[in-house]
Amino acid sequence: MIKVLKGWFHRYFSDPQAVFLAILLISSITILMTMSKMLAPALASIVIAYLLEGVIQNFQRWHIPRSLAVFCVYSTFITLLTFIIIIVLPIVSYQLTQLIQELPSMVAKGHQLLKTLPEKYEIISAIQIEGIIDSIRIRVHQIGQMLLSYSLASITAVITLLVYSILVPLLVFFFLKDKETIIKWLISFLPKEHTVAQKVWVEMDAQMGNYVRGKVYEIFLVGTFSYFPFAYMNLNYASLLAFLVGLSVIIPYVGAVVVTFPVLMVAYFQWGIGSDFFSIIMIYGIIQGLDGNVLVPLLFSEAVNLHPVAIIMAVLVFGGIWGFWGVFFAIPLATLVKALLSSWPRSPMDDLMPQVVISQEKE
Protein backbone atom coordinates (compact mmCIF):
# COMPACT_ATOMS: atom_id res chain seq x y z
CA MET A 1 0.00 0.00 0.00
CA ILE A 2 2.83 2.38 0.91
CA LYS A 3 4.58 1.60 -2.39
CA VAL A 4 1.36 2.36 -4.30
CA LEU A 5 0.95 5.71 -2.53
CA LYS A 6 4.61 6.51 -3.02
CA GLY A 7 4.37 5.71 -6.73
CA TRP A 8 1.21 7.80 -7.12
CA PHE A 9 2.84 10.74 -5.31
CA HIS A 10 5.99 10.46 -7.42
CA ARG A 11 3.93 10.29 -10.59
CA TYR A 12 1.87 13.43 -9.97
CA PHE A 13 4.03 15.55 -7.64
CA SER A 14 7.61 14.89 -8.70
CA ASP A 15 7.55 18.03 -10.84
CA PRO A 16 8.04 21.25 -8.78
CA GLN A 17 5.46 23.01 -10.93
CA ALA A 18 2.87 20.41 -9.93
CA VAL A 19 3.60 21.07 -6.25
CA PHE A 20 3.32 24.81 -6.82
CA LEU A 21 0.04 24.36 -8.71
CA ALA A 22 -1.38 22.22 -5.89
CA ILE A 23 -0.38 24.79 -3.24
CA LEU A 24 -1.88 27.59 -5.32
CA LEU A 25 -5.18 25.72 -5.73
CA ILE A 26 -5.45 24.76 -2.06
CA SER A 27 -4.66 28.33 -0.96
CA SER A 28 -7.23 29.83 -3.35
CA ILE A 29 -9.96 27.40 -2.29
CA THR A 30 -9.21 28.01 1.41
CA ILE A 31 -9.36 31.79 1.01
CA LEU A 32 -12.63 31.63 -0.94
CA MET A 33 -14.29 29.25 1.53
CA THR A 34 -13.25 31.14 4.66
CA MET A 35 -13.43 34.74 3.42
CA SER A 36 -16.08 34.62 0.68
CA LYS A 37 -18.48 36.97 2.50
CA MET A 38 -15.77 39.54 3.20
CA LEU A 39 -14.44 39.31 -0.34
CA ALA A 40 -17.89 39.44 -1.98
CA PRO A 41 -17.50 43.07 -3.20
CA ALA A 42 -14.09 42.22 -4.67
CA LEU A 43 -15.45 39.07 -6.36
CA ALA A 44 -18.38 41.01 -7.82
CA SER A 45 -15.97 43.71 -9.03
CA ILE A 46 -13.71 41.13 -10.69
CA VAL A 47 -16.69 39.63 -12.52
CA ILE A 48 -17.86 43.05 -13.74
CA ALA A 49 -14.32 44.05 -14.73
CA TYR A 50 -14.00 40.78 -16.66
CA LEU A 51 -17.22 41.62 -18.47
CA LEU A 52 -16.11 45.14 -19.36
CA GLU A 53 -12.57 44.10 -20.30
CA GLY A 54 -13.82 42.35 -23.42
CA VAL A 55 -15.52 45.55 -24.60
CA ILE A 56 -12.37 47.56 -23.87
CA GLN A 57 -10.26 45.12 -25.89
CA ASN A 58 -12.64 45.54 -28.83
CA PHE A 59 -12.12 49.32 -28.62
CA GLN A 60 -8.34 48.78 -28.57
CA ARG A 61 -8.57 46.66 -31.72
CA TRP A 62 -9.99 49.78 -33.37
CA HIS A 63 -6.76 51.60 -32.35
CA ILE A 64 -8.50 53.58 -29.58
CA PRO A 65 -6.21 54.36 -26.59
CA ARG A 66 -6.92 52.21 -23.54
CA SER A 67 -7.45 55.22 -21.27
CA LEU A 68 -10.17 56.58 -23.58
CA ALA A 69 -11.72 53.10 -23.95
CA VAL A 70 -11.79 52.66 -20.15
CA PHE A 71 -13.46 56.05 -19.75
CA CYS A 72 -16.19 55.32 -22.33
CA VAL A 73 -16.93 51.79 -21.13
CA TYR A 74 -16.85 52.72 -17.45
CA SER A 75 -19.16 55.72 -18.02
CA THR A 76 -21.63 53.45 -19.81
CA PHE A 77 -21.42 50.94 -16.95
CA ILE A 78 -22.16 53.62 -14.34
CA THR A 79 -25.11 54.89 -16.38
CA LEU A 80 -26.54 51.36 -16.73
CA LEU A 81 -25.97 50.63 -13.02
CA THR A 82 -27.76 53.85 -12.05
CA PHE A 83 -30.69 52.93 -14.32
CA ILE A 84 -30.94 49.47 -12.70
CA ILE A 85 -30.79 50.79 -9.13
CA ILE A 86 -33.14 53.75 -9.62
CA ILE A 87 -35.69 52.31 -12.06
CA VAL A 88 -35.51 48.52 -12.46
CA LEU A 89 -35.00 47.41 -8.85
CA PRO A 90 -37.85 49.54 -7.39
CA ILE A 91 -40.29 48.20 -10.02
CA VAL A 92 -39.27 44.59 -9.40
CA SER A 93 -39.39 45.11 -5.61
CA TYR A 94 -42.86 46.71 -5.81
CA GLN A 95 -44.24 43.89 -7.96
CA LEU A 96 -42.72 41.30 -5.64
CA THR A 97 -44.49 42.95 -2.69
CA GLN A 98 -47.76 42.91 -4.62
CA LEU A 99 -47.34 39.24 -5.48
CA ILE A 100 -46.69 38.37 -1.84
CA GLN A 101 -49.82 40.27 -0.78
CA GLU A 102 -51.89 38.47 -3.42
CA LEU A 103 -50.45 35.04 -2.60
CA PRO A 104 -53.10 34.17 0.07
CA SER A 105 -55.95 34.84 -2.40
CA MET A 106 -54.18 32.69 -5.00
CA VAL A 107 -53.86 29.90 -2.45
CA ALA A 108 -57.58 30.21 -1.59
CA LYS A 109 -58.51 29.94 -5.28
CA GLY A 110 -56.22 26.95 -5.58
CA HIS A 111 -57.98 25.29 -2.64
CA GLN A 112 -61.34 25.74 -4.32
CA LEU A 113 -59.96 24.26 -7.53
CA LEU A 114 -58.56 21.25 -5.69
CA LYS A 115 -61.87 20.62 -3.91
CA THR A 116 -63.64 20.25 -7.26
CA LEU A 117 -61.23 17.57 -8.47
CA PRO A 118 -62.91 14.60 -6.67
CA GLU A 119 -66.16 15.44 -8.42
CA LYS A 120 -64.52 15.43 -11.86
CA TYR A 121 -62.01 12.64 -11.37
CA GLU A 122 -62.77 9.60 -9.22
CA ILE A 123 -59.07 8.72 -9.02
CA ILE A 124 -58.45 11.45 -6.40
CA SER A 125 -60.32 11.15 -3.10
CA ALA A 126 -61.48 13.97 -0.86
CA ILE A 127 -59.13 12.82 1.90
CA GLN A 128 -56.13 13.10 -0.44
CA ILE A 129 -57.25 16.59 -1.47
CA GLU A 130 -57.49 17.66 2.18
CA GLY A 131 -53.97 16.37 2.77
CA ILE A 132 -52.67 18.34 -0.21
CA ILE A 133 -54.46 21.50 1.02
CA ASP A 134 -53.00 21.11 4.53
CA SER A 135 -49.48 20.70 3.15
CA ILE A 136 -49.95 23.81 0.98
CA ARG A 137 -51.14 25.80 4.01
CA ILE A 138 -48.11 24.72 6.03
CA ARG A 139 -45.78 25.65 3.18
CA VAL A 140 -47.40 29.06 2.68
CA HIS A 141 -47.09 29.72 6.43
CA GLN A 142 -43.39 28.84 6.28
CA ILE A 143 -42.89 31.16 3.31
CA GLY A 144 -44.68 33.96 5.21
CA GLN A 145 -42.39 33.52 8.21
CA MET A 146 -39.35 33.53 5.94
CA LEU A 147 -40.49 36.75 4.23
CA LEU A 148 -41.21 38.32 7.62
CA SER A 149 -37.70 37.51 8.86
CA TYR A 150 -36.32 38.94 5.62
CA SER A 151 -38.28 42.17 6.09
CA LEU A 152 -36.94 42.49 9.64
CA ALA A 153 -33.41 42.26 8.25
CA SER A 154 -34.14 44.71 5.44
CA ILE A 155 -32.22 47.50 7.19
CA THR A 156 -29.04 45.42 7.06
CA ALA A 157 -29.73 44.61 3.41
CA VAL A 158 -30.15 48.31 2.58
CA ILE A 159 -26.86 49.16 4.31
CA THR A 160 -25.11 46.33 2.46
CA LEU A 161 -26.54 47.58 -0.84
CA LEU A 162 -25.27 51.09 -0.12
CA VAL A 163 -21.80 49.78 0.69
CA TYR A 164 -21.75 47.67 -2.49
CA SER A 165 -22.97 50.57 -4.61
CA ILE A 166 -19.91 52.56 -3.50
CA LEU A 167 -17.19 49.91 -3.25
CA VAL A 168 -17.98 47.86 -6.37
CA PRO A 169 -17.85 50.72 -8.92
CA LEU A 170 -14.68 52.02 -7.28
CA LEU A 171 -12.98 48.60 -7.42
CA VAL A 172 -14.13 48.06 -11.00
CA PHE A 173 -12.53 51.36 -12.02
CA PHE A 174 -9.15 50.48 -10.50
CA PHE A 175 -9.25 46.91 -11.88
CA LEU A 176 -9.74 48.34 -15.37
CA LYS A 177 -7.38 51.31 -15.03
CA ASP A 178 -4.47 49.48 -13.36
CA LYS A 179 -4.98 46.01 -14.86
CA GLU A 180 -1.40 45.57 -16.08
CA THR A 181 0.08 46.87 -12.81
CA ILE A 182 -2.05 44.48 -10.71
CA ILE A 183 -1.19 41.49 -12.92
CA LYS A 184 2.55 42.26 -12.79
CA TRP A 185 2.33 42.57 -9.00
CA LEU A 186 0.66 39.17 -8.71
CA ILE A 187 3.15 37.54 -11.08
CA SER A 188 6.04 38.86 -8.95
CA PHE A 189 5.00 36.40 -6.19
CA LEU A 190 5.18 33.39 -8.52
CA PRO A 191 8.32 31.28 -8.99
CA LYS A 192 10.34 31.75 -12.14
CA GLU A 193 9.21 28.41 -13.55
CA HIS A 194 5.42 28.63 -13.77
CA THR A 195 4.81 27.60 -17.36
CA VAL A 196 2.10 25.06 -16.40
CA ALA A 197 0.20 27.59 -14.31
CA GLN A 198 0.57 30.12 -17.12
CA LYS A 199 -0.73 27.59 -19.65
CA VAL A 200 -3.78 26.82 -17.51
CA TRP A 201 -4.38 30.53 -16.88
CA VAL A 202 -4.18 31.49 -20.57
CA GLU A 203 -6.69 28.79 -21.45
CA MET A 204 -9.03 29.65 -18.59
CA ASP A 205 -8.67 33.40 -19.16
CA ALA A 206 -10.28 33.04 -22.58
CA GLN A 207 -12.82 30.48 -21.37
CA MET A 208 -13.84 32.48 -18.29
CA GLY A 209 -14.04 35.77 -20.13
CA ASN A 210 -16.16 34.34 -22.92
CA TYR A 211 -18.45 32.59 -20.44
CA VAL A 212 -19.00 35.59 -18.15
CA ARG A 213 -19.70 37.97 -21.01
CA GLY A 214 -21.90 35.44 -22.80
CA LYS A 215 -23.89 34.65 -19.65
CA VAL A 216 -24.52 38.33 -18.85
CA TYR A 217 -25.62 38.96 -22.45
CA GLU A 218 -27.91 35.92 -22.24
CA ILE A 219 -29.50 37.16 -18.98
CA PHE A 220 -30.11 40.60 -20.48
CA LEU A 221 -31.49 39.34 -23.81
CA VAL A 222 -33.73 36.63 -22.36
CA GLY A 223 -35.10 39.01 -19.71
CA THR A 224 -35.72 41.76 -22.27
CA PHE A 225 -37.36 39.50 -24.85
CA SER A 226 -39.56 38.08 -22.08
CA TYR A 227 -40.67 41.48 -20.77
CA PHE A 228 -42.07 42.90 -24.02
CA PRO A 229 -44.55 40.07 -24.80
CA PHE A 230 -45.51 39.83 -21.11
CA ALA A 231 -46.21 43.57 -21.01
CA TYR A 232 -48.03 43.48 -24.38
CA MET A 233 -50.31 40.72 -23.04
CA ASN A 234 -50.87 42.80 -19.87
CA LEU A 235 -49.63 39.91 -17.75
CA ASN A 236 -49.53 40.83 -14.07
CA TYR A 237 -46.05 41.31 -12.60
CA ALA A 238 -44.52 41.40 -16.10
CA SER A 239 -41.29 43.08 -14.92
CA LEU A 240 -40.82 40.66 -12.02
CA LEU A 241 -41.49 37.58 -14.15
CA ALA A 242 -39.19 38.80 -16.94
CA PHE A 243 -36.50 39.45 -14.32
CA LEU A 244 -36.89 35.89 -13.00
CA VAL A 245 -36.84 34.41 -16.51
CA GLY A 246 -33.61 36.29 -17.21
CA LEU A 247 -31.96 35.07 -14.01
CA SER A 248 -33.13 31.51 -14.63
CA VAL A 249 -30.46 31.03 -17.32
CA ILE A 250 -27.79 31.12 -14.59
CA ILE A 251 -28.73 27.57 -13.55
CA PRO A 252 -28.56 25.28 -16.61
CA TYR A 253 -31.59 23.08 -17.25
CA VAL A 254 -33.06 23.52 -13.75
CA GLY A 255 -33.60 27.29 -13.89
CA ALA A 256 -35.95 27.20 -16.88
CA VAL A 257 -38.08 24.49 -15.25
CA VAL A 258 -38.32 26.26 -11.89
CA VAL A 259 -39.28 29.68 -13.28
CA THR A 260 -42.02 28.10 -15.40
CA PHE A 261 -44.22 27.59 -12.34
CA PRO A 262 -44.59 31.28 -11.32
CA VAL A 263 -45.26 32.27 -14.95
CA LEU A 264 -48.01 29.65 -15.32
CA MET A 265 -49.42 30.38 -11.86
CA VAL A 266 -49.76 34.13 -12.47
CA ALA A 267 -51.23 33.57 -15.95
CA TYR A 268 -53.73 30.99 -14.68
CA PHE A 269 -55.02 33.07 -11.76
CA GLN A 270 -55.27 36.14 -14.00
CA TRP A 271 -57.06 34.60 -17.00
CA GLY A 272 -57.91 31.00 -16.15
CA ILE A 273 -57.80 28.34 -18.87
CA GLY A 274 -58.34 30.31 -22.05
CA SER A 275 -56.75 31.78 -25.16
CA ASP A 276 -54.59 34.30 -23.24
CA PHE A 277 -53.27 31.56 -20.98
CA PHE A 278 -52.25 29.34 -23.90
CA SER A 279 -50.78 32.36 -25.71
CA ILE A 280 -48.46 33.02 -22.76
CA ILE A 281 -47.48 29.36 -22.69
CA MET A 282 -46.67 29.47 -26.40
CA ILE A 283 -44.69 32.73 -26.09
CA TYR A 284 -42.75 31.42 -23.10
CA GLY A 285 -42.01 28.16 -24.94
CA ILE A 286 -40.74 30.08 -27.99
CA ILE A 287 -38.44 32.19 -25.79
CA GLN A 288 -36.99 29.10 -24.10
CA GLY A 289 -36.60 27.36 -27.47
CA LEU A 290 -34.76 30.33 -29.01
CA ASP A 291 -32.55 30.60 -25.94
CA GLY A 292 -31.53 26.94 -25.99
CA ASN A 293 -31.22 26.43 -29.74
CA VAL A 294 -30.10 29.83 -31.05
CA LEU A 295 -28.79 32.15 -28.33
CA VAL A 296 -26.72 29.65 -26.31
CA PRO A 297 -24.88 28.17 -29.34
CA LEU A 298 -24.25 31.70 -30.65
CA LEU A 299 -22.89 33.12 -27.37
CA PHE A 300 -21.00 30.05 -26.16
CA SER A 301 -19.66 28.68 -29.43
CA GLU A 302 -16.09 28.91 -28.08
CA ALA A 303 -16.89 27.24 -24.76
CA VAL A 304 -15.66 23.76 -24.00
CA ASN A 305 -18.40 21.19 -24.39
CA LEU A 306 -19.32 19.42 -21.16
CA HIS A 307 -21.69 16.53 -20.66
CA PRO A 308 -25.04 17.53 -19.07
CA VAL A 309 -24.29 15.26 -16.10
CA ALA A 310 -20.98 17.08 -15.55
CA ILE A 311 -22.76 20.45 -15.72
CA ILE A 312 -25.44 19.43 -13.19
CA MET A 313 -22.82 17.97 -10.83
CA ALA A 314 -20.76 21.16 -11.13
CA VAL A 315 -23.83 23.28 -10.27
CA LEU A 316 -24.56 21.11 -7.20
CA VAL A 317 -20.98 20.99 -5.92
CA PHE A 318 -19.82 24.55 -6.55
CA GLY A 319 -23.24 25.99 -5.67
CA GLY A 320 -23.10 24.17 -2.33
CA ILE A 321 -19.62 25.55 -1.65
CA TRP A 322 -19.91 29.17 -2.84
CA GLY A 323 -23.64 29.77 -3.24
CA PHE A 324 -24.64 32.17 -6.03
CA TRP A 325 -21.12 32.65 -7.38
CA GLY A 326 -20.59 28.89 -7.39
CA VAL A 327 -23.72 28.43 -9.50
CA PHE A 328 -22.79 31.31 -11.81
CA PHE A 329 -19.27 29.98 -12.39
CA ALA A 330 -20.18 26.27 -12.31
CA ILE A 331 -19.45 25.67 -16.01
CA PRO A 332 -16.09 27.56 -16.17
CA LEU A 333 -15.02 25.95 -12.88
CA ALA A 334 -15.83 22.54 -14.32
CA THR A 335 -13.83 23.52 -17.39
CA LEU A 336 -10.97 24.55 -15.08
CA VAL A 337 -11.01 21.12 -13.44
CA LYS A 338 -10.92 19.51 -16.87
CA ALA A 339 -8.02 21.76 -17.97
CA LEU A 340 -6.08 21.01 -14.78
CA LEU A 341 -6.48 17.26 -15.17
CA SER A 342 -5.26 17.38 -18.77
CA SER A 343 -2.37 19.81 -18.11
CA TRP A 344 -1.18 18.45 -14.74
CA PRO A 345 2.57 17.67 -14.86
CA ARG A 346 3.44 13.99 -14.55
CA SER A 347 6.63 12.07 -14.06
CA PRO A 348 8.74 11.63 -17.21
CA MET A 349 8.39 7.89 -16.66
CA ASP A 350 4.71 8.19 -17.66
CA ASP A 351 5.76 8.95 -21.22
CA LEU A 352 7.81 5.74 -21.34
CA MET A 353 5.07 3.48 -19.98
CA PRO A 354 3.21 2.97 -23.29
CA GLN A 355 6.51 2.12 -25.03
CA VAL A 356 7.43 -0.36 -22.28
CA VAL A 357 4.03 -2.05 -22.54
CA ILE A 358 4.31 -2.30 -26.33
CA SER A 359 7.82 -3.73 -26.14
CA GLN A 360 6.74 -6.32 -23.59
CA GLU A 361 3.82 -7.34 -25.81
CA LYS A 362 6.17 -7.79 -28.76
CA GLU A 363 8.47 -9.98 -26.70
**Tens of pLDDT along 298-349?**
776 555 556 667 777 877 787 777 776 677 777 777 777 776 666 666 655 5
For 2-37, letters b (16+ CB in 10 Å) and e give: eeeeeeeeebbbebebbebbeeeeeeeeeeeeeeee
The length of the chain is 363
d(CA 330, CA 36): 16
pLDDT tens string for the chain (363 positions)? 676 666 665 665 555 666 666 777 777 777 777 776 777 788 788 878 887 888 888 888 888 888 899 999 999 999 988 888 888 888 887 888 787 777 777 766 766 666 665 555 555 555 665 666 666 666 666 665 665 555 444 556 666 777 778 888 899 999 888 888 888 887 777 777 667 667 777 767 766 777 777 788 888 899 999 999 999 999 988 888 999 898 888 877 678 888 888 888 888 888 888 888 899 999 998 998 888 778 877 776 555 556 667 777 877 787 777 776 677 777 777 777 776 666 666 655 544 444 444 444 444
Dist CA 67 CA 77 (whole Å): 15
Q: What is the pTM of this model?
A: 0.68
Identity of the residue numbered 34: T
The 3 state secondary structure assigned to the chain is CHHHHHHHHHHHHCCHHHHHHHHHHHHHHHHHHHHCCCCHHHHHHHHHHHHHHHHHHHHHHCCCCHHHHHHHHHHHHHHHHHHHHHHHHHHHHHHHHHHHHHHHHHHHHHHHHHHCHHHHCCCCCHHHHHHHHHHHHHHHHHHHHHHHHHHHCHHHHHHHHHHHHHHHHHHHHHHHHCHHHHHHHHHCCCCCCCHHHHHHHHHHHHHHHHHHHHHHHHHHHHHHHHHHHHHHCCCCCHHHHHHHHHHHCCCCCHHHHHHHHHHHHHHHHHHCCCHHHHHHHHHHHHHHHHHHHHHHHHHCCCCCCCCHHHHHHHHHHHHHHHCHHHHHCHHHHHHHHHHHHHHCCCCCHHHHHHHHHHHHHHC
Instruction: Give the number of other CB atoms < 10 A from CB of residue 135.
Output: 10
